[in-house]
Amino acid sequence: MKRIFVKKIIFDNINLVENLTEKLKAGVVQFDVKAGQVEANLNTALGYLEKLASDNVNLAVLPEMFSCSFDNEHLKKHSKLTHRILDRLSLFAIENQMAIAGSLPEEKHEQIFNTMVFIDRDGQIKARYRKLHLFKLTNEHLYYSAGNETAVIDSSLGRIGLMICYDLRFPELARILSLQGVQMIIVCAQWPESRKEHWNTLIKARAIENQLFMVCSNRTGVEDTLKFPGMSMVVDPMGSVLIKGRDDDASIFADVDLRAVKRARALIPCMADRRDDIYGKA
């Protein structure tokens, strides 16, 4: 069994540290990701990022596998384009002072990972989070390798943790991120219509039990026999939904005040009452 390591990813840009903000605009993009159509998907993503930039959004989250969807038979080919895609997104981030996150295929040591990349507002890639939990019901484990590290970023927008889709069903991961002081967890997903109530409930639960913001992007459209409901959302530390998408392609955003994390934790100090002596630190 592989050991999962908790990895702290250090943010070291002094200029951005000095510009840390407690108030920001957090956006999510949802669209019908076309299997194998990398250029078309990138152009769609950039179009929605442009709309968010026009509203001075500080953070944008793209869906899971936004570049090619789960075109699993051609992942090596698609992964060779990942570097070029990230270069384009990094340039966009610099030009628009917008942090961008989303997952796409990454090849490393002859293995393919479903990797969520976080690009900060200076265009620098501050984290590569490789999906820890592979969804065996759709045979992800046959095409992808599982990661073995968590990701926490000290970004220009605060301390942020990363999760991908199926990870939502594992409260241990969100709790580990919370115990490392994250104020926000970003999630990208391809979560199906048939389990949309689980999506809705789990996001709110992760926000409430860890008293932090959840910024979550889910795709739309139909692929093979699966329909995807969108329902991307931003949820605050008390579980209130600040903004929620419908089932159409869109970009939406909400105003986020990170001071709400401290207020929620002071109002209901759950962490102070945890029984570490019974069930451990994490």
Catalytic positions are 64, 131, 165
Side-chain half-sphere exposure of 63, counting CA atoms within 13 A:
33
Q: How far apart are CA 92 and CA 210, in angstroms?
A: 32
Q: How far apart are CA 144 and CA 146, in angstroms?
A: 6
Contact 106, 115 (CB under 8 A): yes
Question: In angstroms, what is the C-alpha Rg of the chain?
Answer: 17
Contact 229, 198 (CB under 8 A): no
Closest among 180, 241, 232, 165 to 208, alpha carbons compared = 241
Give the distance from CA 217 to its chain's centroid: 7
Q: Three-state secondary structure along 100-115?
A: EEEEEEEEECCEEEEE
- Which tokens hold the place of 44? 């769609």
